[in-house]
């Protein structure tokens, strides 16, 4: 596993955990709150970070909405990091394949050049006019 993947997974887990705790602290006990347990808070944080946002859980306090805004920005940033990491990995794999293909092509060209030289030498040995 690439170190970047470990960092992204760790950062995502930390953001989800801290966001869940923060929203639970802000919303628990508020009148009409839909986020009252850690499970509710974790579900809300996960759907918010992934930009799914089902709407079944949502903050009603000002502090909760501020936390939601921060978590939304973090989710967008994490989505960008994951996408960039995946693209970087794919580019590295394509580059490796291209380098391998170039090595094989060079080897083939060397073998063909040697074969052409051998054929020319054989022809020259048969017919000195060539």
Q: Helices 38-49 and 3-27 meet at what angle, rounded to 10?
A: 130
Residue length of the chain: 130
* Mean pLDDT within 82-95: 90
What's the predicted TM-score (pTM) here?
0.67
Asked if residues 49 and 12 have their Cβ atoms less than 8 Å apart, the reply is yes
Domains, the chain, with CATH or none: 3-92 (1.10.287.70)
Mean pLDDT of the chain: 90
**Structure-token pair, residue 62:** 């000002």
Percent of the chain with pLDDT over 90: 65
Confidence of residue 1 (pLDDT cuts 50, 70, 90): low
């Amino acid at each position: 596993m690439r170190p970047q993947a470990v960092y992204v997974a760790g950062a995502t887990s930390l953001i989800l955990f801290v966001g869940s705790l923060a929203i639970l602290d802000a919303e628990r006990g508020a009148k009409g709150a839909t986020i009252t347990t850690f499970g509710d808070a974790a579900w809300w944080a996960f759907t918010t970070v992934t930009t799914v946002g089902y709407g079944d859980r949502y903050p009603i306090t000002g502090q909760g909405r501020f936390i939601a805004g921060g978590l939304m920005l973090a989710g967008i940033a994490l989505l960008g990091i994951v996408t960039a990491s995946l693209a970087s990995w794919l580019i590295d794999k394509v580059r490796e394949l291209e380098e391998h293909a170039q090595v094989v092509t060079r080897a083939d060209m060397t073998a063909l050049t040697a074969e052409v030289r051998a054929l020319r030498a054989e022809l020259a040995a048969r017919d000195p006019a060539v």
